[in-house]
Chain A
Amino acid sequence: MSGQVSQLTPGAAPTPPVVPFGSERPARPRPRRPTHRPAWEEPPSKAGAVSKFVILAVVVLTVVFPLYTVVLTSVSTQAETIRAGGLVTIPGEMTLNAYTQILSGGVVTRAALVSVGITAVGTVLSTVVSVLAAYGLSRPGSFMHRPILFVFLITMFFGAGLIPTYLLVSGLGLINSYWALILPGAVSAFNVLILRNFFMGVEPAILDAARIDGAGDWRILRAIVLPMSKAAIAVVALFYGVGYWNAFFNAMLYINDNEKWPIQMVLRSYVLQGVSLPGGGTGTVDVATGVVTGLPVQMAVMVLAVVPILLVYPFVQRHFTKGVIFGAIKG
Chain B
Amino acid sequence: MTVPLLHRRRPKASDAERPDGAAATAPSGQPRRLSRRAQIARDRSLLIMVLPAVVLLAVFAYVPMFGNIMAWSSYSPYQGFFGSPWIGWENFERVFSNPLFLNAVGNTLAITAFQLVFFFPVPIFLALLLNSVLSPRIRTTIQSIVYLPHFFSWVLVVTLFQQMFGGAGLLSQNLRQHGYEGFDLMTNPDTFLVLITMQSVWKDAGWGIIIFLAALSTVSPELYEAAAVDGANRWRRMWHITLPALRPVVILLLILRLGDSLTVGFEQLILQRAAVGVGVSDVIDTFVYYQGVVYGDWSFAAAAGLVKGVVSLALVLGANKLAHVFGESGVYKRA
What residues of chain A have their CB less than 8 Å away from a CB belonging to chain B? 1, 15, 18, 21-24, 28, 30-38, 40-42, 52, 55-56, 59-60, 62-64, 66-67, 69-70, 84-87, 89, 129-130, 132-133, 135-137, 139-146, 148, 151-153, 155, 157-168, 171, 183-187, 189, 192, 200-201, 204, 207-208, 211-212, 214, 216-218, 221, 242, 245-249, 252-253, 264, 267-268, 271-272, 285, 290, 292, 299, 302, 305-306, 309, 313-314, 317, 320-322, 325-326, 329-330
CB closest residue in chain A, given B330: A22
Q: How many B residues touch A, CB cutoff 8 Å?
A: 125
Residues of A within 8 A of B316 (CB): 157
Contact status B129-A52, CB under 8 Å: yes
Residues of A within 8 A of B233 (CB): 42
Contact status B47-A136, CB under 8 Å: yes
Residues of B within 8 A of A133 (CB): 49-50, 52-54
Contact status B153-A164, CB under 8 Å: no
**Separation in Å of the B331 CB from the closest CB of chain A?**
6
Rank and list the top 6 A-B pairs by shortest CB-CB distance, nearest first.
Answer: A141-B23, A23-B329, A164-B67, A246-B153, A322-B214, A133-B53
23 A-B pairs within 8 Å (CB atoms) are namely A28-B218, A35-B136, A40-B224, A40-B229, A41-B224, A56-B142, A59-B146, A66-B163, A133-B49, A161-B68, A161-B309, A167-B67, A168-B59, A186-B60, A187-B53, A192-B53, A207-B10, A245-B153, A246-B156, A267-B156, A272-B155, A306-B156, A322-B210
CB closest residue in chain A, given B37: A143
Docked complex Cα distance between A60 and B141 (Å): 10
Contact of A137 among B50, B129, B169, B217 (CB under 8 A): B50
Contact status B47-A31, CB under 8 Å: no
What residues of chain B have their CB less than 8 Å away from a CB belonging to chain A? 1, 5, 8-13, 15-18, 21-24, 36, 39-40, 42-43, 45-50, 52-54, 56-65, 67-68, 70, 75, 81, 126, 129-130, 132-136, 140, 142, 144-149, 151-156, 158-160, 162-164, 168-170, 173, 176-177, 202, 206, 210-211, 213-215, 217-222, 224-225, 228-229, 233-234, 248, 252, 266-267, 270-271, 285, 288-289, 292-293, 298, 301-302, 305-306, 309, 312-313, 316-317, 329-333, 335
Known: A22-B331, A69-B170. A31 touches B221 (CB 8 A): yes
Residues of B within 8 A of A89 (CB): 170
**Separation in Å of the B328 CB from the closest CB of chain A?**
8
**Separation in Å of the B23 CB from the closest CB of chain A?**
3
Docked complex Cα distance between A158 and B271 (Å): 25
Residues of B within 8 A of A314 (CB): 144
- Number of cross-chain contacts by CB at 8 Å: 334
Residues of A within 8 A of B163 (CB): 66, 69-70, 87, 299
CB closest residue in chain B, given A169: B60
Chain A interface helix/strand/loop/mixed: helix
